[in-house]
């Protein structure tokens, strides 16, 4: 479980190592910094990674019959993360994890990542080492090779760019299109927890800004904090589906809220959907946290985002294979496009689904 993040001092990133001497990045230069951050990197995929960090380019290969999967995310301080409460180690881990989730959403296996960082002089060498500790932890846990990247200075703040490379057999790759009428809609894990964790962190940030001596009050909310600060990509679900002999007809990861992702699937598949309120999986701790803010749990699941669970559709013939899997929940079914996209509550009229999740270009 994620540890409760310590309160930073004003103007310092969370978890900036205060006990150790601070080494300015400018005092050692770019290439010694890269050497220090990437020393002794292990190779987890020798069949896929011929040469990693240390040359002008990495050298990679794919076994015959596999396709290359590529995805990229950019995380910007003040937009995607807040250093008031985001520990650097957790941030490094999350930066890798959210990219691995994109490969899992294609029913593939992540193999390598490249990491680019731009940091202002507010960050020390020790701070970036802490960030890279989290990056390495994620790579080690998911057996992914860190094979390159770049570092540079930033006029303000921290920017992290991660590119992930994965592979899959052509016949195994899943796309957002492919869902058909009568297919079953499934999600992994539970939803709304990351948003609940964010609300708690933002509440404590406001308390800190008004009273820097205040201590954080997270009670027993370690699960929802971890869902926000240290999400886990569901590569295990990809393996489970393979073991069960199930190939989804369509798939996407839930980064911007269940509603947005359902609408993406339906738009690409030229269909509609019916999702049942009482079938959406929500953890009890998530409900407890959301109750503090008078937010209906289903609302958080539909619109909160950053859960990084998998949303996918399967043919009815595969129902028996997955019905007893505790980590997979059947929440609805696909209908023809003319019927639209709706959530069906236990009581009351159906509600049309709307995309209200995070949009990086919306005014906030």
Say yes or no: 31 and 136 in one domain.
yes
The answer to whether position 154 is within a domain reads yes
Residues 6+ apart with CB under 8 A from 220: 285
* pLDDT at residue 268, rounded to an integer: 97
Domain count, the chain: 2
The answer to whether position 127 is within a domain reads yes
Say yes or no: 69 and 111 in one domain.
yes
* pLDDT at residue 53, rounded to an integer: 78
| pLDDT exceeds cutoff 70 at 5 | no
Among 48-57, 113-122, 252-261, whose mean pLDDT is lowest?
48-57
Say yes or no: 83 and 127 in one domain.
yes
The answer to whether position 262 is within a domain reads yes
| Res. 359 pLDDT band, cuts 50 70 90 | low
* pLDDT at residue 10, rounded to an integer: 38
Give the pairing of strands 250-253 and 351-352.
unpaired
Higher-pLDDT residue of 18 and 306 is 306
Count Cβ atoms below 10 Å from residue 265 Cβ, excluding itself: 27
Say yes or no: 204 and 333 in one domain.
yes
Averaged pLDDT for residues 66-92: 95
Helix (H) or strand (E) holding 136: helix 125-141
> pTM, whole model, 2 decimals?
0.88
| 304: its two tokens | 């909160």
Say yes or no: 273 and 320 in one domain.
yes
Say yes or no: 148 and 213 in one domain.
no
CA-to-CA distance for 269 and 180, rounded, in angstroms?
Answer: 7
Averaged pLDDT for residues 319-331: 97
Percent of the chain with pLDDT over 90: 74
- Provide the sign of the torsion angle of the four alpha carbons 188, 67, 74, 259, taken in this order: negative
Higher-pLDDT residue of 24 and 270 is 270
The answer to whether position 223 is within a domain reads yes
* pLDDT at residue 48, rounded to an integer: 92
Mean of pLDDT over the chain: 90
Mark which of 172, 199, 232 sits at the end of a domain.
Answer: 172
Say yes or no: 144 and 268 in one domain.
no
Say yes or no: 102 and 222 in one domain.
no
Say yes or no: 194 and 117 in one domain.
no
* pLDDT at residue 3, rounded to an integer: 39
Say yes or no: 211 and 270 in one domain.
yes
* pLDDT at residue 45, rounded to an integer: 85
* pLDDT at residue 42, rounded to an integer: 83
| pLDDT exceeds cutoff 80 at 358 | no
Q: What stretches of 211-296 show up as alpha helix (H) in DSSP? A: 222-229, 235-244, 258-269, 284-292
CATH number at residue 79: 3.30.1330.10
| 43: its two tokens | 């190779």
The answer to whether position 158 is within a domain reads yes
Mark which of 127, 143, 172 sits at the end of a domain.
Answer: 172
CA-to-CA distance for 225 and 327, rounded, in angstroms?
Answer: 20
The answer to whether position 112 is within a domain reads yes
The answer to whether position 300 is within a domain reads yes
Q: Which tens digit of pLDDT belongs to each residue from 144-178?
A: 999 998 889 999 999 999 999 999 999 999 999 99
Say yes or no: 165 and 208 in one domain.
no
- Domain boundaries, position 117: 25-172
| 73: its two tokens | 């995310």
Residue tagged 């994890």 (tokens): 97
Distances 299 to 261, 287, 324, 340 between C-alpha atoms, Å: 14, 11, 27, 19
The answer to whether position 357 is within a domain reads no
CA-to-CA distance for 38 and 310, rounded, in angstroms?
Answer: 31
Q: Which tens digit of pLDDT belongs to each residue from 16-44?
A: 444 568 888 777 766 677 777 777 778 89
* pLDDT at residue 342, rounded to an integer: 97
* pLDDT at residue 361, rounded to an integer: 43
Say yes or no: 125 and 86 in one domain.
yes
Residue tagged 């999702």 (tokens): 275
| Res. 232 pLDDT band, cuts 50 70 90 | very high
CATH number at residue 328: 3.90.650.10
Mark which of 172, 200, 224 sits at the end of a domain.
Answer: 172
């Amino acid at each position: 479980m994620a540890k409760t993040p310590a309160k930073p001092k004003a103007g310092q990133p969370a978890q900036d190592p205060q006990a150790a001497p601070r080494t300015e990045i400018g005092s050692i230069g770019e290439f010694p910094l890269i050497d220090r951050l990437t020393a002794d990197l292990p190779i987890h995929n020798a069949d896929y990674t011929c040469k990693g960090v240390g040359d002008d380019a990495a050298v990679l290969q794919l076994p015959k019959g596999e396709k290359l999967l590529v995805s990229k995310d950019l995380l910007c301080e003040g937009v995607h993360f807040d250093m008031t409460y985001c520990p650097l180690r957790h941030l490094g881990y999350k930066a890798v994890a959210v990219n691995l989730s994109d490969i899992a959403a294609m029913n593939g296996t992540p193999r390598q990542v490249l990491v680019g960082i731009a940091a202002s002089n507010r960050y020390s060498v020790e701070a970036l080492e802490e960030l890279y500790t989290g990056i390495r932890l994620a790579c080690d846990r998911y057996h992914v090779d860190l094979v390159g990247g770049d570092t540079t200075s930033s006029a303000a703040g921290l920017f992290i760019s991660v590119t992930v490379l994965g592979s899959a057999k052509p016949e195994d790759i899943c796309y957002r299109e492919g869902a058909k009428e009568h297919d079953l809609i499934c999600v992994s894990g539970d939803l709304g927890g990351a948003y609940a964790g964010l609300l708690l962190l933002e509440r404590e940030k406001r308390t800190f800004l008004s009273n820097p001596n205040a201590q954080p009050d997270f009670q027993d909310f370690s699960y929802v904090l971890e869902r926000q600060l240290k999400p886990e990509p569901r590569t295990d679900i990809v393996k489970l589906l393979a073991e069960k002999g199930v190939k989804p007809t369509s798939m996407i990861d839930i980064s911007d809220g269940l509603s947005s992702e359902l609408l993406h699937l339906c738009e690409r598949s030229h269909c509609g959907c019916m999702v049942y309120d009482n079938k959406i999986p929500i953890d009890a701790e998530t409900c407890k946290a959301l109750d503090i803010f008078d937010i209906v749990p289903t609302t958080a699941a539909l619109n909160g985002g950053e859960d990084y669970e998998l949303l996918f559709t399967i043919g009815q013939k595969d129902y028996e294979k997955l019905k007893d899997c505790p980590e997979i929940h059947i929440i609805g079914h696909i209908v023809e496009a003319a019927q639209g996209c709706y959530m069906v509550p236990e009581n009351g009229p159906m509600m049309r689904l709307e995309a209200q999740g995070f949009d990086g270009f919306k005014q906030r």
